Amino acid sequence: MSRSVQDVVFVDGARTPFGKAGPKGIFAETRADDLVVNVFRELARRNEGLPLDSIDDVAVAATTQVGDQGLTIGRSAALLAGFPRTVPGYSVDRMCAGAMTSVTTLSAAIMSGMYDVAVAGGVEHMGRHPMGEGVDPNPRFLSEKLVDPEALLMGKTAENLHDRFPHLTKERADAYAVASQEKTAKAYANGRIQPNLVPVATRSAEKGFGLATADEPPRPGTSMASLAALKTPFRAHGRVTAGNAAGLNDGATGAILASGDAAREYGLTTKMRLVSFAFAGVDPEVMGIGPVPSTEKALAKAGLSIGDIGLFEVNEAFAIQVLAFLDHFGIADDDARVNPYGGAIAVGHPLASSGIRLMTYLADEFAEHPEVRYGLTTMCIGLGMGGTVIWENPNFDGKKA
């Protein structure tokens, strides 16, 4: 039986507020799987026309798949969220691009006609499960010099990127970080971020119950002077600091994906249409350059050029990683098309959850900019990779920007 390629649409996305990892963070005593459950229930509530028994699969990513992030979390979170028991699920691990890979893997199944509707997600509770917990790297990595020892420490790979591109100075990285904080503060003031945040009930043995309704990490009022005074923990007299990098965070994201036909059948919104995606490998010791080749591959698959992209959502694991991407494509550090609502330096980067956060931002930006036809979401990935997804704006009106 022959099957035609189906359109894949991004129906809706939501996330918890992102918290600071650690004993004082808002989610310190909240389970990781419960964060996912909150997001899934909100997506179901907001899309009442979708019969839950029509969901073909659920994929949830986590970088550290132990404890409350284990037990095939895609399946367990779906059950806990009240999805019918007929809905299957599985877990994904591609480090920082976990949620992005949840989306692309499910999208490929929709494109082929195997699925009609799917739910993707990602979670990371870095307070409960620090990056690298329980990991046992094969000794061959070092004994056979397969990778530089610094490749296993993300902060040092960012310092290596500064070495490779000395014109991308600490001052430029700090300026980018200040702008991220300012854009996030402006987006909050204009009510751009709040609509897709799912309130989460929290508990604390010391403080009692609470309600998380906003991201915890942003530092409005950050200045160049305050960033200049920060320590460089990854290298003496280095350039990467806690101010020009994303922090350690807790949070979860989720999204509904569907074929174009299924979206129409159930009366679902179409916030974006998937055009192409690609992943690429690079030297692990400079993993931050990963978004460059993955974007080049995704553009080639789509038959587009970088000039066709009107909005960019680039994950801000480190400011230097974003600057290297922009520098390669000849885009100014302060280009208004890049991360209009700010990024991970301000709101945080709970590893495997961040890919869908980028997509949710882009979907809202598309609605604000009908003059933009194409946008992309991209991120660097641990152990030397990059991932990029190109999207089309269903609100495009054909007018020039």
C-alpha span between 222 and 253 (Å, rounded): 27
Characterize the bridge pairing of strands 90-92 and 57-61.
parallel
CA separation for the pair 193, 361 (Å, rounded): 8
- Residues in Cβ contact with 396 at an 8 Å cutoff, skipping those fewer than 6 apart: 370, 371, 372, 373
Report the DSSP beta bridge partners of residue 385: 281, 381
Catalytic residue among 129, 162, 349, 369: 349
For residue 153, what are the CA distances in angstroms to 44, 230, 340, 375? 38, 19, 29, 31
What SS3 state is found at 222? coil
Active site residue 328: no
Tokens representing 40 are: 């899934």
- Known catalytic membership, residue 129: no
Give the Cβ contact number of residue 67 at 10 Å: 16
Amino acid symbol at 134: G
Q: Do 339 and 280 form a contact (C-beta atoms < 8 A)? A: no
Given the residues 96, 125, 129, 162, the one annotated as active site:
96
At residue 24, the pLDDT reads: 93
Residues 34, 110, 193, CA angle at the centre, nearest 5°?
Answer: 45
Catalytic residue among 125, 129, 162, 380: 380
Helical H segments across 19-169, by residue range: 32-46, 73-80, 98-111, 140-143, 154-164
Q: Is the pTM of this model over 0.85?
A: yes
Residue 41's nearest CA partner among 155, 115, 121, 161 is 121
Query: Which single residue is written with the structure tokens 């020009």?
Result: 244
Task: Please give the chain's pLDDT, 401 residues, in tens.
Answer: 667 889 999 999 999 999 999 999 999 999 999 999 999 999 999 999 999 999 999 999 999 999 999 999 999 999 999 999 999 999 999 999 999 999 999 999 999 999 999 999 999 999 999 888 888 888 898 888 888 877 778 999 999 999 999 999 999 999 999 999 999 999 999 999 999 999 999 988 888 899 999 999 999 999 999 999 999 999 999 999 999 999 999 999 999 999 999 999 999 999 999 999 999 999 999 999 999 999 999 999 999 999 999 999 999 999 999 999 999 999 999 999 999 999 999 999 999 999 999 999 999 999 999 999 999 999 999 999 999 999 999 999 987 65
Using CA atoms, how far residue 8 sits from 18, 220, 276, in Å, is 28, 37, 10
* Known active-site residue 380: yes
User: Coil, helix or strand for 315?
Assistant: coil
